[in-house]
Amino acid sequence: MSTTQHHDPDRETPAQEVAPPGPPGRTAGRAPLLVAAVGVVAGVMVLLAGLPASASLFGTPLADLTLPTALLLVLAGVWVAGWTSSARPPWRVVDIVTASVLGVACGLLFVVWNLSWATLSNGLAFFPPLSAVAAGVWLLPAVLGGLVVRRPGAAVYTELVAATLSALIGNQWGFATVWYGLLEGLGAEIVFAVLLYRRWGLPSALLAGAGAGVVVGLLDAFVYYPEFPPTYKLVYVGLALLSGVVVAGVGGWALTRALGRAGALAPLASARDARRV
Amino acid sequence: MSALELGVRDDVDPGAVLARANPVAKLAVATVIALGLLLSVDPVTAGVALALELACLPLTGVPLRGAWRRSWILLLAAVPTGVLTAFFGVDDGAVLLGLGPVDVSAGSASAGLGITLRVLAIGLPGVLLVLSTDPTDLADALAQVLRLPHRFVLGALAATRLLGVMAGEWEQLTLARRARGLGDDGLLGRVGTFGGQAFALLVLALRRGGVLATTMESRGFGAGGERTWARPSRMSWLDVFVVMCGAALTTTATAVGIAVGTWELVIVGSA
Amino acid sequence: MTSPPRIRARGWGWRHGGRLAWAVRGVDLDVQPGERVLLLGPSGAGKSTLLAGIAGLLDGSENGTGEDEGELTLDGALARDARARAVRRGRGEAATGLLLQDPSAQTVLSRCGDDVAFGLENHAVPADQIWDRVRQALDDVGLRVALDRSTTHLSGGQRQRLALAGVLALRPGVLLLDEPTAMLDPPGAAQVRDVVADVLASSGATCLVVEHRVEAWVDLVDRVVVLEPGGGVVADGCTGAVLDRHSEALAAQGVWAPGRQSRTPRRAALPADGLLTARSLAVTRDTSRPPVLSEVDLEVGTGRCTALVGPNGGGKSTLLLALAGLSRPAAGEVLADRALASGASPNPHRWRPRELVTRIGSVFQDPRHQFVTSTVRAELTLGPRRAGVPETDTTRRVDGLLERLRLAALAEANPFTLSGGEQRRLSVATALATAPRVLALDEPTFGQDARTWAELVDMLADLLEDGAGLVVASHDEPFVAALADDVHRVGDGRAPRRVPA
């Protein structure tokens, strides 16, 4: 890893002195490739060998988790490679404050949504997994933060701030919201990292929404509904993914474009793609 | 709007043990309890934990009424989740209530109760933590004790202060929609109005965020060099004691669950 | 205090990321230590950008927020470097201090003491010295509050002085004030100005101030610099000379010039028919609290302008919301005349939104709160369309409004990207698009330049002649004097007192 730049998001030097090292990707040595290769190989091996059927995780036979585990390994490998080899511009004050303010605004929306959801989910109780369709709203800050601020970690940070605020104001899930926020944000962040923090269009937004959706689906299935039959859990995760793609993905992308047109992104990296006004 | 102000409520006794504890210690307690309870779904462990938490209420300095006013909302998630589990969970044991495709069995009922108690027992410490912690103190502790990057911690803290401004703005936006003739359509129209209003809120928030960033930067924020702290945040013996109490609470609850025989590790088991 | 630096700009310009136009360009300027300069110019001339540049907050590098050209230096060092060096020196002395317009966005932390200490912490002042300097700074701005007092409930004026304390605690050599009183009520504005006068007298710091209300600052400065959009500095010299020589141009650009009164008061109103009547009305901001005003009796009639005046926080806006049918009275009632109600309930707050828009139009203090579409044209079309006006009429009406309010060239622009004056005109136009018989306006002249101000007065006077009823909450005395037939003083929780117009 010696050829890659160590990254510290809170580096205490002015921006000029940590200017990104040349065109993106130039500093990538062989180490990131190696990491990616290890991840891919490990993933393929898990897929071929299969996990033991005799053990279970949260009531799910491990064998059922073979594909997700393999995917996770591949993604993690590619993510590490992407993270280390991408040119990661440092966070400026305006980036930090913007992401924070976005997080707080979304936290406020959560407060409204949390209570609406309580009524909505009761209406869907005839088939409980349906309540997952509402999950996308909680994933919006992750996609929005990533697309607007365009800095490594923006998705996690924005989602974390929104979730923390929702917990601080008080909601029906209490403190667990903070961990949820962190993990949901990571689900979206991995996607942006795998794309080397260079793609910020609709496909990236959809994938990031999907990433966050899978995470929230799995978390809910294991933390809140561990005693549901596996088919329910599967439907739940699938609907959460769909909701993540549609609400957080499409929604986040459309919101970012609209914010650009309203001139609200002027000092940010995302303004470069917004129509010049 | 007053409900949206963060920080210690006036009715919290500032001399109470948990009110004096470092926010990081309180955070650790809430985390230890949550992780301990996630290991098993059984009514006994979660119930004992919940009972012990309620017994610790005087230590937080939060009066009973205040605690209830701020924590009843946990029931909104806990009860439906438990009921759904009782109906739709994997059935096991004697059927208590048969409703065609969905049954409530002894197994699923106990699981439902376990889930409800667990959600409550995990959520309650978080609520109590919030009630006795000022966001500024929390940020100081996160940056100084946990050494999280201070630019991010302070950025989030400063943005949090805009919450009241945004809440007021949301009210204005709602009134302005009515003044423009919006808001009397069906459900879809309302969703659309809500979306538009959320968008306006974001635009205004981003603009204000830009001003806030300029203000912070003009006062030397993020310019590099060392930073000093006018409010030092440190861990004391009291904090060690508080964390130990949290660990003891989790251990006791688990031990009772094991002794009664309901405790079962759900992370890895045989299929 | 750091000794004030020499400020020097040569061919300096700045363009924000994502913008085609330069915010400011071709600026040549020298400011000597201790000089006090008033920066004037129409909106869009780049005055704020110049202040931000001197404060060292604009970064034109690869990872920056825009693009710069030319040079801008403090004692020979690039403004950005001068700022960073002062922060790192660790003495808690900033090169410059910047105070902005919006009080609500300049409070960083939630306790007064912490907010002032914030800059000192960033400048690495040892913790044991911080609190003395915080107390000193709060004293200097005359804000006598406990250090742990919450910043949430400060008034706009107090908040602005708190922000000034945060700036002064860092003992800046240059004070940069960007419309510091534009969003304050008259008493708040006077206090901020007086504090600045005291500080400058005792510290000898350099000062650059941007402000539309020239009268308040003219005695404080010794030099006036006029900027023009894209043109850099077009006039520069001692105060009296510049204001005399350029008074016509400045007035045309919307800069207040001393001694110029824009309009003669309109003629007395004809006997009026009633439109809205408040009877024993009580209003509240928060239903869980006692009413902020009660026992209000007043009337809005055809062709008459009813003005609500009084200090901020006195309940003017809350009363206006109730009169405009936007909020429910806490007690008593608001009654619409039968002709105005035309078939709907007599209580405006019971009207459905689409009934409301054709009867009472509202103009909010912040025009951005009322924008609901993505183009100026759509914004104007929305109301008539919802009220069921036929499409051809709507188009005619909208085109007429676009012409009349000088918005035709902006028909396809996004409302949020307009300038403050354009947004104000648009918000009035949206309210007029549905031809309501009553118009309720909350601080319509707030933060507006002289040109928009005069246009508003003319347009509202025309409406009155056409028989519309106006109700206005405002602390702009010239505005009230120019339009109001009935003036009600609101405040202190008592019923409004009727005062002579």
Residue B216: its pLDDT value, please? 95
State residue C157's pLDDT score. Answer: 87
> Which of A92-96, A262-266, B166-170, C87-91 is modeled with the greatest confidence?
A92-96
* Alpha carbon distance C457, C464 (integer Å): 11
Interface partners of chain C (CB pairs < 8 Å, 3 or more) are A, B
Mean pLDDT of B144-160: 93
Shortest distance between the Cα of B237 and any Cα of chain A, in A, equals 25
Q: With a cut of 80, say whether residue C456 has pLDDT above it.
A: yes
With 0-12 / 13-18 / 19 or more C-beta atoms within 10 angstroms meaning exposed / middle / buried, residue B90 is middle
Range from A199-208, A253-262, C440-449 carrying the lowest mean pLDDT: C440-449
What pLDDT is stored for residue A10 in this prediction? 38
- Which residue in C94, C98, C416 is closest to B203 by CB distance? C416
Chain C contact set for B208 (CB, 8 A): 102, 104-105
Of the candidates B195, B215, B204, which has an alpha carbon nearest to the alpha carbon of residue B172?
Answer: B204
Least confident of B2-6, C56-60, C351-355: B2-6
- The pLDDT of residue C321 is above 80: yes
Q: Kindly report, residue by residue over C99-116, the tens digit of the pLDDT.
A: 998 888 899 998 999 999
**Residues in A touching B34 (Cβ below 8 Å):** 175-176, 179
Q: Which residues of A touch C417 (CB under 8 A)?
A: 261-263, 277
More confident residue, A8 or C266: C266
**B198 contacts on A by Cβ (under 8 Å):** 109
Of A268-272, B23-27, C217-221, the poorest mean pLDDT is in A268-272
What is chain B's mean pLDDT, rounded? 82
User: Of the spans A141-145, B70-74, C44-48, C155-159, which averages the highest pLDDT?
Assistant: A141-145
Token pair 């006068």 is at which residue?
Answer: C197
Q: How many CA atoms lie within 13 A of C451 on its CB side?
A: 17
The amino acid that residue A26 corresponds to is R
* Residue C455 one-letter amino acid: E
ipTM of the complex: 0.89
For residue C77, give the H/E element and its range.
Answer: strand C77-78
Q: Which residue has the higher pLDDT, C228 or C54?
A: C54
Signed CA dihedral, A23, A143, C413, C262: sign only: negative
Nearest CA in chain C to A265: C18
Among candidates C35, C122, C38, which has minimal Cα distance to C83? C122
Structure confidence at residue A12 as a pLDDT band (50, 70, 90): very low
Most confident of the ranges A126-135, B53-62, C224-233, C392-401: C392-401
Using the Cβ of A22 and the Cβ atoms of chain C, whether some distance falls under 8 Å is answered with no
DSSP sequence for A106-162: HHHHHHHHHHHHHHHHHHTTTSGGGGGGGTHHHHHHHHHHHHHH-STTHHHHHHHHH
Residue B5 has a pLDDT of: 58
Residue B240 has pLDDT above 60, yes or no: yes
Taking residues A185-208, what's their average pLDDT?
90
Residues of B in contact with A149 (CB under 8 A): none
Whether the CB of A274 is below 8 Å from some CB of chain C: the reply is: yes
Q: Examine the pLDDT at A11 and tell me if it is beyond 80.
A: no
Under 8 Å between Cβ of C174 and C5: yes
Per-residue tokens: C344: 């709907």
To the nearest whole number, what is the mean pLDDT of chain C?
Answer: 87
Tell me the average pLDDT across A68-85. 75
Query: Which segment of C168-172, C239-243, C401-405, C472-476 scores lowest on mean pLDDT?
Result: C239-243
Q: What are phi and psi of C470, to 5 degrees?
A: -115, 140
Q: Which of C106, C356, C370 lies closest to B215 in CB terms? A: C106
C353 and B184 in contact by Cβ < 8 A?
Answer: yes
Which residues in chain A touch residue C18, judged by CB atoms under 8 angstroms apart? 260, 265-266, 271-272, 274, 276-277
Residue A241 has pLDDT above 70, yes or no: yes
Best residue of B10, B151, B190, B215 to probe chain C, by most C CBs closer than 10 Å: B215
Determine contact, residues A81/A36, Cβ cutoff 8 Å.
Answer: yes
Whether residues B124 and A174 touch (CB distance < 8 A) is answered with yes
Residue C369 touches chain A, beta carbons under 8 Å:
no
User: Given this model, what pLDDT does residue C326 score?
Assistant: 93
Say yes or no: C187 contacts chain A, CB-CB below 8 A. Answer: no
Q: Taking CB atoms and an 8 Å cutoff, what residues of chain B touch C386?
A: 181-182
Q: Contacts of residue B160 in chain A, CB cutoff 8 Å?
A: 100, 104, 165, 168
Q: pLDDT averaged over chain A?
A: 78
A82/chain C closest Cα distance in angstroms: 20
Tens of pLDDT along C235-294? 888 888 888 888 778 877 777 655 545 555 565 556 678 889 999 888 888 777 788 888
Report pLDDT for A13: 36
| Minimum mean pLDDT range among A209-223, C119-133, C157-171, C369-383 | A209-223
Mean pLDDT of B9-26: 81
With CB atoms and an 8 Å threshold, state whether B115 touches A226.
Answer: yes
Give the distance from residue A176's alpha carbon to the nearest chain B alpha carbon, in angstroms: 7
Query: What's the gap between Cα C341 and its chain centre?
Result: 34
In B, minimum Cα distance to C129 occurs at B230
Cβ distance A15 to C63 less than 8 Å, yes or no, reads: yes
Give the model confidence (pLDDT) of B162-181 as tens digits. 888 888 888 899 999 999 98
Rounded Cα gap, residues B184 and B11, in angstroms: 41
* Mean pLDDT for the stretch of residues C329-355: 89
Residue B226 pLDDT class (50, 70, 90 cuts):
confident
The 10 Å Cβ neighbour count of residue C142 is 14
Calculate mean pLDDT across residues C116-124: 94
As a whole number, mean pLDDT of residues B103-125 equals 80
- With H, G, I as helix, E, B as strand and everything else as coil, classify residue C334: strand
Answer whether residue B1 shows pLDDT above 50.
no
pLDDT at site B7: 61
Check CB contact of A169 with chain B, cutoff 8 Å.
Answer: yes
* Type and span of the H or E element at B247: helix B237-260
| Cα of B87 vs its chain's centroid, Å | 27
Indicate whether C179 pLDDT > 50. Answer: yes
Question: Which pLDDT score, from 0 to 100, does residue B161 have?
Answer: 87
Please tell me the predicted confidence (pLDDT) of residue B113. 84
Q: Tell me the three state secondary structure of residue B214.
A: helix
- Average pLDDT in the A89-97 region? 90
Choose the closest CB to A94 out of C65, C84, C417.
C65
- Given a cut of 50, is residue A14 above it in pLDDT? no
Amino acid B80: pLDDT: 76
Tell me the average pLDDT across A34-56. 78
Nearest to B220 among C87, C126, C361 (CB): C87
Per-residue pLDDT of C422-455, as tens digits, reads 899 999 999 999 989 999 999 998 878 777 888 8
Q: What is the DSSP secondary-structure string of B148-203?
A: --HHHHHHHHHHHTTHHHHHHHHHHHHHHHHHTT-S-S-HHHHHHHHHHHHHHHHH
- DSSP-derived letter for residue A247 is I
Chain B hits for A262, CB-CB cut-off 8 Å, are: 203
Nearest CB to C372: which of B165, B180, B232? B180
3-class DSSP state of C498: strand
What's the confidence (pLDDT) of residue B92?
Answer: 66
Q: Is the dihedral of CA A224, A225, A227, A233 positive or negative?
A: negative
Task: Give the pLDDT band of residue C314 (cuts 50, 70, 90).
Answer: confident
For C232-276, the three-class secondary structure string (H helix, E strand, C coil) is EEEEEECHHHHHHHCHHHHHHCCCCCCCCCCCCCCCCCCCCCEEE
Radius of gyration of chain C (CA): 25
Going by pLDDT thresholds of 50, 70 and 90, the confidence category of residue C81 is very high
User: C16 CB near a chain A CB, below 8 Å?
Assistant: yes
Q: Is A27 touching B (CB cutoff 8 A)?
A: no
Section A200-220 average pLDDT = 91
Residues A160-175: tens digit of each pLDDT: 999 988 888 877 777 7
**CA–CA min distance C430, chain B (Å):** 8
Residues on chain C touching B1 (C-beta within 8 angstroms): 286
A49 part of contact set with chain C, CB < 8 Å: no
Give the closest of C109, C150, C321 to B157, CB-based.
C109
